[in-house]
Amino acid sequence: MTAAEPVELVEHFFRHESAKLVSVLTRAFGIARLELVEESVQEAMMAALRSWRQRGVPHNPAGWIHRVARNRALDALRREKVHQLALSLSGQTEEATEALIDDWLLEERLPDSLLRMMFVCCHPALEQRSQIALTLNILCGFSVSEVARGLLISVEAGKKRIQRAKKTLADAQVRVDLPTAGELKSRLAVVQTVLYVMFNEGYSTSRGHEPLRDDVCEEAARLCHLLCEHETFSTPSTRALLALMLFHGARLEARVDSEGAVILLEDQDRARWDRRLIRVGERWLARAGSERLTRFHLEAAIALLHCHSPSVEETPWGQIVDLYDRLLVLSDSPLYTLNRAIARGEAGHPREALVAIESIRGDREMRDYYLLDCAAGRLHELLGDRSLALAAYSRARSEAGAPHARALLDKKLARLR
């Protein structure tokens, strides 16, 4: 018995080891072997679970799992007849392959394989929803049902999407490579968008609260950080994106009450915002200087203004309106229009803001979007029109799908009545 000093596993140890191993082994054996690789990794982790659960975690748990997974994958390949053929084609002996894998699994070499895999999961041959699902599955170690829960789709739909994506990649014989200099810009933009949407997906508790969705945010930020640590991918826009995630992340805790109901910005206890995360975000934003400001820069700037404001009243709404104006130049999104209207309303122009909100009501993206009527309710409140505010909040309540969103609106309604 070695009960003296039990080794504690770091948080999400299995998840992240799974991502590392699948990335390295797929890089070694090719995308066509993804399934075999995933099975080997799964078996290695089950072996670890059975071996450690009674005797405790060994001193180098990562090394333990790496060796077992590598050996399982090689064993499985040896059983395949094509293995010999594959070896003779690649000109690698088995010993050389083994040494290569061990080298790639070294702590300092790991990011290289993870980044390669990130570009594979965000391959342009896949549609965006599949890119996100695959990233969560492979690079974040989420099981298929966890991906489904994180993205609010059925397990069946998630399974189909992930299987199809893997097949597409295998059929296209996608190589586990980094993008070439020529395609770097467009490929990096896709990865950034995937991480951005993934983060928002986790962040929007608007459709159901679930701790797993905080994990989705955390994972998006972790992967973005990985990009920021790399000399080529750490561009101003990548850094701005990381800053944006950290500013939003700083408010995650304060966004829900003890019963899981959403608390809107105006009602949040700002003392609960994570000052440390805000400072880290500021450092990244300071290093994101560029002549061409992207939406990540502008959105990060807005988020930072909120982070620095002691209250709704003391928020520099005029500056925020200006930043939304610049965002609307980049992209004519109704979401920007909605948020600009909210800022304009708080800046003392609620009547004009209501007109703006009505102008996007017909937009496809805004249909049945309860936050639109929620914003309208707030504007009517600012105008001192209780009955119209009540009507807007009631409409929002009927559009809200998730129980916690309805709970939020019930509170608003109760306060007004």
Q: Give the Cα separation of 40 and 46 in Å (integer).
A: 10
Question: Measured in whole angstroms, how far is the alpha carbon of residue 305 from the centre of its chain?
Answer: 22
Q: Are 176 and 117 in contact (CB under 8 A)?
A: yes
The piece of 11-19, 216-224, 319-327, 400-408 that touches another protein (CB under 8 A) is 11-19
Shortest Å distance, C-beta 415 to another protein: 39
Q: Among candidates 88, 162, 156, 152, which has minimal Cα distance to 130?
A: 162
| 8 Å CB contact between 205 and 117 | no
Rama region for 208: left / alpha / beta (φ>0; ψ in -120 to 50; rest): left
With contacts defined by CB under 8 A, name the span among 44-52, 90-98, 270-278, 382-390 that binds another protein: 44-52
Binding-residue pattern over the window 134 to 173 for another protein, x denoting contact by CB under 8 A: -------xxxxxx---------------------------
Q: If residue 254 lies in a helix (H) or strand (E), which one and from where to where?
A: none
Least separation in angstroms between residue 81's CB and another protein is: 24
- Give CA 86 to chain center in angstroms: 36
Nearer to another protein, 43 or 257 (CB): 43
Tokens at residue 265, please?
A: 């910005």
Report the nearest approach of another protein to the CB of residue 40 (Å): 13
Nearer to another protein, 17 or 373 (CB): 17
Element (H, E) at 252: none
The window from 49-57, 230-238, 369-377, 386-394 that contacts another protein (CB under 8 A) reads 49-57
The string of DSSP letters for 136-192 reads IIIIS---HHHHHHHHT--HHHHHHHHHHHHHHHHHTT--S-PPPTTTHHHHHHHHH
In angstroms, give the least distance from the CB of 216 to another protein: 12
Residues in 388-407 that interact with another protein by CB under 8 A: none
Integer Cα distance of 18 and 146 in angstroms: 14
The residue among 50 and 364 lying less far from another protein, judged by its C-beta, is 50
Q: Which stretch binds another protein (CB under 8 A): 7-15, 106-114, 296-304, 366-374?
A: 7-15
Residues between 214 and 253 that touch another protein (CB under 8 A): none
Taking the complex as a whole, how short is the minimal distance between the CB of residue 256 and another protein, in angstroms? Answer: 20
1/89 with CB nearer another protein: 1
- Closest to another protein by CB, 1 vs 271, is 1
By the rule CB under 8 A, 58 interacts with another protein? no
State which residue, 5 or 313, has the beta carbon closest to another protein: 5
Could you tell me the two tokens for 405? 């969103």
Residue 51 engages another protein in binding (rule: CB under 8 A): yes
Q: Is residue 90 within a helix (H) or strand (E), and if so which, with residue range?
A: helix 82-90
| CA–CA–CA angle 276, 279, 285 (5° rounding) | 145
Q: How far is the CB of 140 from another protein (least distance, A)?
A: 9
Residues that bind another protein (CB under 8 A): 1, 3, 6, 9, 12-15, 17-18, 42, 45-46, 48-57, 141-146
